[in-house]
Structure 1
Amino acid sequence: MGWLDNLKKGIRPGRRTVPLGFNYDNEKVSKLIKAVIFDFDGLIVDTETPAYHAFCKVYGEYGRELPLETYAKCVGTSFDAFNPYTHLAEMLEHKVDSEVIRKQVDVEYRELLRHIQPRPGVVDYLREAGELGLKVGLASSSYFNWIEPYLTKFDLHGYFDSINTADLVQKVKPDPELYQLSLQRLEVQPDEAISFEDSLNGFIAAQKAGLHTVIVPNEMTRTFSFEDYDLKISGMDSMPLQDLIARLERQK
């Protein structure tokens, strides 16, 4: 089974090491927002852009193209929405088996992931959320066995109070189930939580669940057409989390 299958297809709760200590007397701390919930792929670590590049390279080797608007159907969700392996096999009239294509893409993808790092500002946001006394969740359409090695590699486990992945739900994004489960496990209401997403499918899921929505597009998703979000920022290094929360509350 390939890496990209694991990404779309492992469960354990988050183990927070940052102490809670929500101080309602501190004017700098929100009295309305109690939790922040992060997507993973493309948001915490941009595994999505390399995946698309890997597919494009293999498609190109067969003289075919994979338009971003076509591939976008599976970004932030599962390959049930669009399967780029079988799509290419069908374009080639099955002269090349999808399993062969899968192995070729995996080789390219592994190489592109070799030096991957968390996106700028991510660790600062996670750390600041703890300092502000906010509960921190992760809601991902990927399976836990895909995410866990990255959480370990970058020492991120301790920032999360709850980690929810495809293993725990019947439907992944754009269905709101992952966010609904996250809210339940964090014991907060939708209007008390902020979602951070980079994809349309993730944004739709958060919006359906009733959370405040913040879009943080990556290299690939910056061209996507997001509508009716609460806030869009270029990156988590563009403003402190505390300022972002204050800005959201001023909009309400």
Structure 2
Amino acid sequence: MFIPPKKSYLGYIFDCDGTLADTMPLHLRAWNYGLKAANSGLELDGHSFMSVAGMALEQTIKHWNETHSLQIDAEVVMREKNDYFKRHHEEIDPIIPVLEFARSCKASGAAVSVASGGERPDVLETLRLICMDGFFPVITTAEDVKHSKPAPDLFLLAAEKMGIAPADCLVIEDSLLGIEAADTAGMDSVLVPHPF
């Protein structure tokens, strides 16, 4: 269960998948669908999937190729994974306590943003599906930075665009790579518990 922190911050940076939206089970199924379509020989369980949660798509496949000595065709996996995800996106639900916290942060006058390792069209569509489109003035995604999580780039860019110093920001994340990125950025963070 998500427990909002008691301390107040000038800026709040929210991850999207698994934090604002309950998408991780669908993402896991989509990844496995794409990996099977590419004849990769790799099948993910919840633990192995969450160990790379927050990485950009191409970075994730590069990681698996290196750690498992594979030659997974990234183009096939990404195409099939994204197609599967889009065909089933009606299954996406909001994570209500986190959305309520985001609304209370914005109502208090604090700056709010999204920093996601996902691709911008997917992030925007997910926000639309959970009725949060247009809510966040700042959205940073994998296309905006050279290095995705666990590098701090996404969070530092979001803070810069909000005009808030990193030390005055709180990151809300569901992945350990995201928490690592927040630590490296010099930001406080809170972990959204996940069934995986």
- Which TM-score band applies after superposition, normalised by the shorter structure? 0.7 to 0.9
Q: Does 1:192 align with 2:161?
A: no
| Structure index of larger Rg | 1
Q: Deviations over 1:170-221 (max 9, x none)?
A: 111111111111111112222211100001221111110011110003223x
Q: Does 1:212 align with 2:188?
A: yes
Find the partner of 2:53 among 52, 72, 75: 75
Counterpart in 2 of 1:34?
10
Equivalent residue pairs, number = 186
1:196 alignment partner, SS class: strand
Q: Is the 8 A contact 1:151 1:157 kept in 2?
A: yes
TM-score (norm 1): 0.61
Q: Deviations over 1:92-133 (max 9, x none)?
A: 999xx7766666655654454322121122321121112211
Shift of 1:79: 3.1
Counterpart in 1 of 2:110?
134
Counterpart in 2 of 1:181?
157
2:60 alignment partner, SS class: coil
Q: Is the 8 A contact 1:183 1:190 kept in 2?
A: yes
Q: Deviations over 1:28-57 (max 9, x none)?
A: x96x62111101111111322212134446
Q: Is the 8 A contact 1:59 1:66 kept in 2?
A: no
Unaligned runs of 5+ in 2: 1-5
Find the partner of 2:146 among 164, 170, 191: 170
RMSD: 3.3
Counterpart in 1 of 2:28?
52
Matches within 5 A, 1:10-21: none
Q: Is the 8 A contact 1:40 1:140 kept in 2?
A: yes
1:79 aligned partner, one-letter code: L
Q: Percent identity?
A: 26
Shift of 1:151: 2.5
Q: Find the aligned partners of 2:121 and 2:190 in 1 and give their Cα distance.
A: 26
Q: Find the aligned partners of 2:133 and 2:70 in 1 and give their Cα distance.
A: 43
Counterpart in 1 of 2:3?
none
The change in CA–CA distance for 1:58 and 1:39 in structure 2 (over 3 A counts) is closer
